[in-house]
């Protein structure tokens, strides 16, 4: 396939354990596989985002937002192809409890579901009579509800969407799994970004990507989906910037990481994936040659971490599995 953007040189480490996988705390050693190293699966994207794994087809979808396409990486052949183009500047993806693709679209300012036959169903595009900003990241709960963040990134320029006036405050929304009702459940964060649930679904984590410092907030979630007990879970006091994240079965958060721009000299040191334990302590870092935007778990045993990172897609096997 034709790609645009630089083809970044990448040489996997010939040493085990891979020095790119750094232990920030001895507790991270159990998650690092001695002979598991970082691999570059594809390159040539302009801004990689929103990876989602399809185990039934053994492939991964990843957004290339400025190029207005969704790409498909095949686990069997290693081939990269176009899944959908144009793709309405798609960003984050997830699968619902029936295995259907859910997509956050910047250009159309909506959340959609791709049906089994390929038809597109709009799940949300307005709230209180006003257009959403640019849905960014998305996740599901076992009760069928769909949760997504809605910052204004996609309407701030023509790069990842289309310049337009902001009609609603930044928010996190919940779509009820039974009625389809849309509710704004968080409205006090500056650019909510990545979000995910703890393994028991009793805690919701949300990244506030324009806080100073960047933060991950934690909320208690009751059986009906109501939130309470907002608390700061992680503060990136090292000039780090948090983006998207995934939770493993032990409750650790694997977060796309890079510099927040206030100290450019630390950018290369911070680029990659930062891992925080359930108490919010940084325990590990996977160093990449590019800033990482978002991650997901996948592979045959759900123990392969896929990392959408600027121009490239990377992966590494780890000694845990993604929370289901």
Residue 201 DSSP label: S
Task: Quote the CA–CA distance of 22 and 138 in Å, as a whole number.
Answer: 29
Supply the pLDDT for residue 8.
Answer: 64
Residue 272: CB atoms within 10 Å: 27
* Residue list, annotated binding site for substrate: 136, 162
Q: Which domains does the chain have, with CATH numbers?
A: 21-317 (2.120.10.30)
* Active-site annotation holds for 222: no
The binding site for a divalent metal cation comprises: 49, 193, 243
Q: What is the pLDDT of residue 261?
A: 75
Name the DSSP letter for residue 248. B
* pLDDT for position 268: 72
Start-to-end CA span in the chain (Å): 33
Contact 7, 43 (CB under 8 A): yes
Give the pLDDT score at 291.
Answer: 96
Query: Which member of 75, 88, 243, 271 is catalytic?
Result: 243
pLDDT more than 70, % of the chain: 96
Q: How far apart are CA 309 and CA 8, in angstroms?
A: 11
Region 55-69: what's the mean pLDDT? 98
CA distance 110 to 120: 11
Contact call for residues 70 and 90 (beta carbons, < 8 A): yes
In the structure, what pLDDT confidence band is assigned to residue 139 with cuts at 50, 70 and 90? very high
What is the average per-residue pLDDT within 67-96?
Answer: 98
Mean pLDDT of the chain: 95
Assign residue 264 a region: left if phi > 0, alpha if psi is -120 to 50, beta otherwise?
Answer: alpha
145-190, pLDDT tens digit by residue?
999 999 999 999 999 999 999 999 999 999 999 999 999 999 999 9
b/e for 220-248, b at 16 or more Cβ within 10 A? ebeeebebeeeeebbebebbbbbbbbbbb
pLDDT tens, 213-268? Answer: 999 999 999 999 999 999 999 999 998 999 999 999 999 999 999 988 765 555 57
Residue 205 pLDDT class (50, 70, 90 cuts): very high
Tokens at residue 40, please?
A: 């570059």
pLDDT at residue 17 greater than cutoff 90: yes
pLDDT value, residue 9? 79
Tens of pLDDT, residues 88-136: 999 999 999 999 999 999 999 999 999 999 999 999 999 999 999 999 9
| 3-class SS of residue 155 | helix
pLDDT of residue 2: 46
Tokens of 106: 């910047």
Residues making up the binding site:
49, 136, 162, 193, 243
Q: Is residue 5's pLDDT more than 90?
A: no
């Amino acid at each position: 396939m034709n790609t645009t953007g630089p083809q970044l040189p990448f040489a996997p480490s010939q040493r085990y354990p891979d020095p790119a996988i750094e232990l920030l705390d001895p507790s991270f050693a159990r998650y690092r596989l001695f002979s598991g190293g970082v691999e570059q699966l594809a390159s040539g994207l302009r801004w990689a985002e929103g990876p989602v794994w399809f185990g039934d087809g053994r492939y991964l979808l990843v957004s290339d937002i400025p190029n207005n396409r969704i790409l498909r990486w095949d686990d069997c052949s290693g081939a990269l192809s176009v899944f959908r183009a144009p793709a309405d500047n798609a960003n984050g993806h997830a699968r619902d409890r029936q295995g259907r693709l859910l997509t956050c679209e910047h250009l159309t300012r909506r959340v959609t579901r791709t049906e089994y036959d390929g038809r597109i169903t709009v799940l949300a595009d307005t709230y209180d009579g006003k257009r959403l900003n640019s849905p960014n990241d998305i996740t599901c709960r076992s009760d069928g509800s769909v949760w997504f963040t809605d910052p204004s990134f996609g309407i701030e320029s023509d790069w990842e969407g289309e310049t337009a006036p902001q009609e609603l405050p930044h928010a996190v929304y919940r779509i009820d799994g039974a009625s389809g009702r849309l509710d704004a459940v968080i409205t006090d964060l500056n650019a909510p970004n990545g979000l995910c649930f703890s393994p028991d679904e009793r805690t919701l984590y949300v990244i506030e990507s324009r806080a100073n410092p960047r933060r991950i907030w934690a909320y208690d979630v009751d059986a009906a989906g109501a939130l309470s007990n907002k608390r700061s879970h992680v503060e990136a006091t090292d000039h780090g910037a948090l983006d998207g994240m995934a939770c493993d079965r032990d409750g650790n958060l694997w977060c796309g990481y890079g510099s927040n721009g206030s100290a450019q000299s630390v950018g290369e040191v911070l680029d990659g994936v930062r891992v925080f334990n359930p108490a919010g302590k940084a325990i590990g870092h996977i160093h990449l040659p590019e800033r990482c935007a978002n991650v997901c778990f996948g592979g045959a045993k759900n123990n392969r971490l896929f990392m959408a990172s600027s121009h490239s897609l990377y992966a590494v096997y780890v000694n845990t599995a993604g929370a289901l």
